[in-house]
Amino acid sequence: MILVLLSVRRFFLLFCCSFITCISRADSLTPPSPVGQGELMGQRFLTLNTIVRVRQIEVTRDTAHGPDESGVHTSAEARVFREAIEKAWPGARITWAFSWLALHDTRESYRELRELVVSYQKKFGDEITFIPGAYFSNMYNSREQVNQDLHDGLKRVSEIVGDGYRPKSVIAGFLSSDNLRYLAEKEGIHVCQGNIWSQYAVDNGDGDGSICYPYYPSREHFCKPARGVEDFIDVVNLDGWSVDFLCARIAGSKMVDGERWRSRQGVGPIETLLDMGTERGHKAMMATTASHFDDGFKRNGFGWVTCGWEMSLVEARKIYGYGGRNGMEGLSLWLTEIRKRWPDAKLITQGEFGERWRAHFKTNEKLDYQFVHRGCGIRASQEELEIRWFMNTDFRLALLHNWKENGTPKVIDFTRYDLTAKEPSDDQHSRNWSLMNRINQKGSRPQDQPIPLKELTAEEQALIQRHYPELFASGAKDK
């Protein structure tokens, strides 16, 4: 009898150990499920995207500009990058986008790199997707060609990942409204990083004029939010980099007191960590993050910060110099500090975030984003200035004033979305796809001179007053 009991006990223990081992193995192979999937309001989100490519700017399938970056696109750089993120933010899920050449390069280094990234999708739940035309596909390709690139590129991603995988989003930099519509109606993808908010006179394309938070784009222009059913494209259009609202006023960059003031200063590493060093760069990144996770969170009901950290930047010093810095220390500091200051923040894939927003907002009807940002004192983020942004389906409006001197706010941007807009045609191949009409923040045209609200036309004031009557009340600048 005793021998029988011992045998049963031994069998039970072996069974439990085997069961626990199976669970442990399953946990290590199964990507974590999205927490609170579908929830948007009352949440803070960070999305972190990275680009895997061969050449710096792959404008078409067969044409590329800039340096050959294959030497810093290996499994070694990918591993350093991904392990740094996991260490600083356990459970984070990021988005990887492969260029056309990176998807098809037959060298062993790229085969290993693709396999490694696929393992991250299995292990962490990362998203793997495609980027057409290195952020500027429409600047160099016809809309028809971009659609074909999207179709073939996404198909290739599914083949590489296997198991019927399909990404939820695409990274594109800038993408025309026709191509966004194609993604929704033909490819069944409803999230796209399809605009780079405020970018003008930088790199190979311009696209100022949009809303900086998610919106459904118009069929007229990708920078314009849809204003009705007939104008609606069922794609959540996302910004690529959160930038300091004060720095965004600059057209490209300019030298001031021996330092370069750059419009893209925000959370991106090029204009912060690599340009200014870890300590100062990290401070600039945190200032931009706080603008969305503190005041912006209170005003909008949720907060969102997004960053594109190109994989070439992991060891960019080998190609571009950057004072011998690679920014990885700053990346770790930034992620660690975010978790410390906002422990509820979630670092999820671009597709997950876009789908959460889409589940909450079925149209643009209720869009009303507001931001108030005071300078952090680093370069163009002048500490004495305060900028207020208002964004809805009728317009975007920016007011700037010197808060230390209690100065009168002036309009530095009034972009109307109730006016007809038009993108460049395929035969133009223009670099400038911006949406500029009444007043634009870059100040690149004579009509862009800042003016008080009450110097706008009666019609313009009435349009703004319908949304924000408090702006015309006495003492409005103090609100």
In the chain the domains, ranked by start, together with CATH numbers, are 44-360 (3.20.20.510), 369-478 (3.30.1120.110)
CA 31 to chain centre: 23
Taking each helix axis as running N to C, give the angle between helix 328-341 and helix 75-88, from 0 to 180 degrees, rounded to the nearest 10: 20
Dihedral sign, Cα of residue 435, residue 394, residue 300, residue 398: positive
How much is the pLDDT for 326?
A: 87
Q: What single-letter amino acid sits at 51?
A: I
Nearest to 293 by CA among 328, 337, 359: 337
Q: How far apart are CA 356 and CA 39, in angstroms?
A: 6
Residue 5 confidence class, pLDDT cut points 50, 70, 90: very low
How much is the pLDDT for 27?
A: 35
Q: How far apart are CA 98 and CA 102, in angstroms?
A: 6
Q: Enumerate residues 6+ apart whose C-beta is below 8 A from 7.
A: none
Phi, psi for residue 282 in degrees, rounded to 5: -65, -40
**Contact, 216 vs 261, CB < 8 A?**
no
The Cβ-side half-sphere exposure at 83, using a 13 Å CA radius, reads: 7
Give DSSP secondary structure letters for 226-251: P-SGGGB---EE--S--B-TTGGGSS
90-149 per-position pLDDT tens digit: 999 999 999 999 999 999 999 999 999 999 999 999 999 999 999 999 999 999 999 999
pLDDT at 261 over 50: yes
46-81 per-position pLDDT tens digit: 999 999 999 999 999 999 999 999 999 999 999 999
Report pTM.
0.91
**Contact, 283 vs 376, CB < 8 A?**
yes
Buried b (16+ CB within 10 A) or exposed e, 46-62: bbbbbbbbbbbbbbebe
How much is the pLDDT for 324?
A: 80
279-323 per-position pLDDT tens digit: 999 999 999 999 999 999 999 999 999 999 999 999 878 888 887
How much is the pLDDT for 476?
A: 59
DSSP 378: B
What CA–CA distances, in Å, run from 107 to 74, 101, 103, 148, 154? 11, 11, 11, 25, 21
Give DSSP secondary structure letters for 32-96: PPPTTTT--TT-EEEEEEEEE-SEEE--SSS--EEEE-GGG-SHHHHHHHHHHHHHHSTT---EE
How much is the pLDDT for 414?
A: 98
440-479 per-position pLDDT tens digit: 999 999 999 999 999 999 999 999 999 999 999 865 554 4
Buried b (16+ CB within 10 A) or exposed e, 247-263: bbbbbbbeeeeeebbbb
pLDDT at 378 over 60: yes
Nearest to 414 by CA among 433, 390, 446, 393: 390
pLDDT at 36 over 50: no
pLDDT at 12 over 90: no
How much is the pLDDT for 140?
A: 94
Considering the chain, what is the average pLDDT of its residues?
A: 92
**Contact, 9 vs 55, CB < 8 A?**
no
Range 244-268 average pLDDT: 97
How much is the pLDDT for 477?
A: 53
**Contact, 265 vs 281, CB < 8 A?**
no
Phi, psi for residue 217 in degrees, rounded to 5: -80, 155
